[in-house]
Amino acid sequence: MTDDTELIALANGVLWPGYLGRSMPDWVRRERDAGLAGVVLFTQNLGADPVDPSDGFLVGTDEEGGTVTRIDAARGSEELGAHQLGALDDVAVTRAVGERLARRSGATGANVVIAPVADVNADPRNPVIGTRAFGADPALVSRHVRAAIEGIHSGGAIAVPKHFPGHGDTAIDSHHGLPVTGASERDQRDVHLPPFAAAVAAGARMIMTAHLVVPAWGEDPATANPTALAEMRALGFEGVIASDALDMAAVKDRFGPDAPVRALAAGCDLLCISNPANPGSSGDDEADFLAVRARIVDAVRSGELPLARLEDAAARVADLRAHARRLSSAGEAPTLDVDSLARRAARIEGTFVPQPGPREVVDARAAATWAVSTTGSRFADELARGGSVVAPGADPRGSDPVVLVDRPADPAQRDAIARIAARRPGAVVVNLGVEPPEALPLPALHVRAASRLAVRTADALLEEGSDARMEA
């Protein structure tokens, strides 16, 4: 039987924790020397010296551009997001954005970009994917997933397409509950798997799972479901299967402390433990890490988790680390006129007069989720241009307020738009999310991201009015 030191080293080799603070804590340094696979950087970790990934330490970050950013979390992303790129449908631009994200992430020490989102956003009510996806058409999503991966790789980082087997046909956020896909098994295969097949064809070396249930494949979420993960291998993928964060309610509430063992047993190779700054965390990043590792070691000792499965997972991660040692993010990021491109990606629905500001903004957006940067609260203030920001239940004072939404297919936001349309027909909607299936009762600007870049686009288009012509 493998001794405790060897078991601890094997367990360390499949763990991908987060930590608190700007600088790497002593416990991470200690475990790194003992074979820890890497770390995931979150907003609270950025701003100090970059993490050194030179020994193949896997330093990951969720830098998607657009709605989800770590680097630009303080103000919102200045990079084009997936839904904007899908609207442009120019794979050369998507490839360039991928390279930009890789090089910018590399400046923080990150050699793993946990992107692109390979989900096909089939349900416009989706609370966790939305504009993070390139779109609702599997062929479009597939070609842009491939381009994004190529760009990230050319920028000197490892791309991690997510969330297998496709989170786009769900209406529950897996951070807060267990989503069950609304797709039939055939649609899951024909609509939601093709982008992951494209990712494999593009040379993806890591793919991240989703905590969602495909009923035809069993009652457990994909992260802990061997049938679901076998579907990934059936696509020809031989690299590292990474779990989505194991502190999310979809697995934490279902499996408790057994979640890491269940994920490994199902076929995951690298376990993203948590963002210890999330609500519900113990607040002790080291204790959380040690508890997960101890549970894995105990499971091997008891025979609950086969030693061979842990060894196989650790070997796959070690191979990826060997590849990471050869990466370099040095070089200039491609130059893009992001403002012009964001303008082209936007869509004007209806007609409205110029609104140069100051403006009255009715902020009817949904509450932020764990996955999406919460700094978007500043976006309403930026659109107001020195005017006022009011809640959706308040009666706007002006005749031409701006209604700020991010999920207009959601009944609450649609009702808010309808109430204002009945009282203030001169109002304009600024939609930071996916366009709803039905036309809105007010003129609208669909800017396709909750980002600083998208809000700047909305501000410029409001100032010009609907007669403004989109740049070619």
What are the C-alpha distances in Å from 139 to residues 57, 89, 90, 143, 145? 34, 11, 13, 6, 10
* DSSP-assigned states of every residue in 254-267: HHGGGHHHHHHHHT
- Say if residues 199 and 150 touch (Cβ distance below 8 Å): no
Query: Which of 413, 460, 465, 452 is closest to 434 using CA atoms?
Result: 413
Q: Is 285 a catalytic site residue?
A: no
Which residues are bridge partners to 347 per DSSP?
446
Question: Alpha-carbon distance 453 to 225, whole Å?
Answer: 39
Please report which helix (H) or strand (E) contains residue 290, including its range.
helix 285-302
Count the neighbouring beta carbons within 10 Å of the beta carbon of residue 147.
24
Beta strands at 158-159 and 206-208: parallel, antiparallel or unpaired: unpaired
> Residue 210 is encoded by which pair of tokens?
């989703």
> Residue 293 is encoded by which pair of tokens?
């590792």
- Say if residues 313 and 269 touch (Cβ distance below 8 Å): yes
Q: Is 175 a catalytic site residue?
A: yes
Pick the catalytic residue from 72, 119, 244, 459.
244
Pick the catalytic residue from 83, 167, 175, 192.
175
- Say if residues 198 and 139 touch (Cβ distance below 8 Å): no
Which residues are bridge partners to 41 per DSSP?
61
> Residue 419 is encoded by which pair of tokens?
């109430």
**Active-site annotation, residues:** 175, 244
